[in-house]
């Protein structure tokens, strides 16, 4: 496995189709930005509907797209007849989440037949660059069945 290697078209389509079925991604306005082997990035554009009380991105926005990115990063490594569930994740919110959009990356750091471990990172992105605003770890389990 080589993290970041180009993914075959069938796996990519499988993940795009699964993403499209996630009602919450549509509600938030999140979109798949990058789908590679063991590495997925999701973007969440800023708008008042995704904020907390001070006008920054809500930590729930960060955790939602980070969790989803990690789940699909794991799924890129799975056979077609299997799906993924998040067992647990932990996120440190290290800076205020602000910018034109958030970008969350899930990166597999330990693939496995049963369990996969991902590193999660979230950045606030503006025209001038990006700022690391959250980092975390996620444990996922592969399950047989629908994707």
Positions that interact with a second copy (CB under 8 A):
18-19, 21-24, 26-28, 47-54, 58-61, 63-65, 67-68, 83, 85-95, 109-110, 114-115, 117, 119, 132, 135-137, 139, 141, 146-147
Integer distance in angstroms from the first to the last C-alpha of the chain? 21
Looking at beta carbons only, is 6 or 115 nearer to a second copy?
115
What is the spatial distance between Cα 112 and Cα 134, in angstroms, rounded to a whole number?
25
68 contact partners, CB below 8 Å, separation of at least 6: 19, 22, 25, 30, 42, 104, 106
Q: Output 22 or 98, the one with its CB closest to a second copy.
A: 22
- Backbone φ and ψ of 16, nearest 5°: -60, -40
Instruction: Give me the least distance between CB of 77 and a second copy, in Å please.
Output: 15
Nearer to a second copy, 41 or 68 (CB): 68
Pick from 136, 18, 145: nearest CA to 76:
18
Instruction: Choose between 125 and 134: whose C-beta lies nearer to a second copy.
Output: 134
- Whether the Cβ atoms of residue 109 and residue 116 lie closer than 8 Å to each other: no
């Amino acid at each position: 496995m080589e993290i970041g290697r180009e993914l075959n078209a069938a796996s990519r389509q499988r993940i795009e189709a699964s993403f499209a079925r996630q009602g919450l991604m549509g509600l938030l306005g999140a979109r798949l930005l990058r789908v590679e082997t063991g590495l997925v990035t999701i973007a969440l554009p800023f708008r008042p509907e995704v904020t907390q009380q001070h006008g920054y991105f809500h930590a729930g926005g960060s955790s939602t797209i980070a969790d989803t990115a990690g789940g699909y990063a794991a799924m890129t490594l799975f056979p077609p007849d299997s799906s993924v569930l998040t067992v647990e994740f932990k996120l440190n919110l290290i800076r205020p989440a602000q910018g034109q959009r958030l970008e969350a990356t899930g990166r597999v750091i330990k693939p496995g037949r049963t369990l996969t471990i991902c590193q999660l990172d979230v950045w606030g992105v503006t025209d001038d660059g990006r700022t690391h605003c959250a980092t975390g770890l996620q444990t996922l389990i592969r399950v047989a069945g629908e994707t």
